[in-house]
């Protein structure tokens, strides 16, 4: 499974951690940032969202301090469902009910261990369809 991954400076360490832990299982396409120098989260959220939309079946992961900047930006793209996830249960439901195609992690408010479990739960869960598809069909304006 191909995953486009991006972070700002607040998320760069967690991005490295996720890639190291899951590199054998997923094909990560890292769109930056690559240092702790201060950057602007939309410069990474937009490219990840655009690639996920273009590349059928791919997913995205975005990481910033709170996760909110990344989620707000990515969700500007019609067809992107970016879910801010801070626990394994929330992450599983983001896939099961919302068919989220980008997981957003709040690096400053989640431990690396919980982030790994949250990521794992997201990619272990399946979209349930049915009434959830009906609701998703009503999202876009
Ligand atoms: C960076 O300081 C911080 O604003 C950013 O990582 C994020 O939390 C924005 O939503």
For the chain (length 141 residues), average pLDDT per consecutive 10? 97 98 96 98 98 98 98 98 98 98 98 98 98 97 88
SS3 69: helix
Instruction: For the chain, give the DSSP string.
Output: -EEEEEE-GGGHHHHHHHHHHHTTTSEEEE----SSS---THHHHHHHHHHHHHSTT-EEEEEESSSHHHHHHHTTSTT--EEE--SHHHHHHHHHTT--SEEEEEGGGS-HHHHHHHHHHHHH-----THHHHHHHTT--
Residues with CB under 6 A from ligand 1: 8, 10, 41, 64-66, 68-69
**Model pLDDT, residue 13:** 98
pLDDT, residue 95, reads 98
Give the residue whose CA is nearest to atom 6 of ligand 1: 65
Per-residue confidence (pLDDT) for residue 16, from 0 to 100:
98
pLDDT for 116: 98
pLDDT for position 5: 98
64 labelled catalytic: yes
Q: Which region holds residue 99: left if phi is over 0, alpha if psi is between -120 and 50, else beta?
A: left
How far, in Å, is the centroid of ligand 1 from the Cα of 5?
A: 16
pLDDT of residue 102: 99
Q: Are 18 and 140 in contact (CB under 8 A)?
A: no
Q: Which atom of ligand 1 is the closest one to the Cα of 68? A: 10
Give dist(CA 118, CA 75) in Å, integer. 20
Q: pTM (2 decimals)? A: 0.98
- Which residue's CA is the closest to the ligand 1 atom numbered 7? 65
46 is catalytic: no
Please give the number of the atom of ligand 1 that sits closest to the Cα of 70: 10
Give the C-alpha separation, 1 to 137, whole Å.
Answer: 25
Confidence at residue 22, expressed as pLDDT on a 0 to 100 scale: 95
Residue nearest atom 3 of ligand 1, based on CA coordinates: 65
In this structure, what DSSP letter does residue 131 have? H
Angle separating helix axes 112-124 and 12-22, nearest 10 degrees: 50
């Amino acid at each position: 499974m191909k995953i486009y991954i991006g972070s700002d400076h607040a998320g760069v360490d967690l991005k490295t951690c996720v890639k190291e832990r899951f590199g054998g299982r997923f094909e990560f396409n890292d769109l930056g940032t690559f240092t702790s120098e201060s950057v602007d989260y939309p410069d990474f959220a937009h490219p990840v969202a655009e690639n996920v939309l273009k590349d059928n079946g791919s997913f995205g992961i975005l990481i910033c301090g709170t996760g909110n900047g990344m989620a707000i930006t990515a969700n500007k793209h019609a067809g992107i469902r970016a879910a801010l996830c801070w626990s394994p249960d929330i992450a599983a439901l983001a896939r099961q009910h919302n068919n989220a195609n980008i997981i957003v992690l709040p690096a400053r408010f989640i431990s690396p261990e919980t982030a790994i479990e949250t990521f794992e739960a997201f990619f272990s869960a399946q979209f349930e369809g049915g009434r959830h598809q009906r609701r998703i069909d009503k999202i876009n304006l």
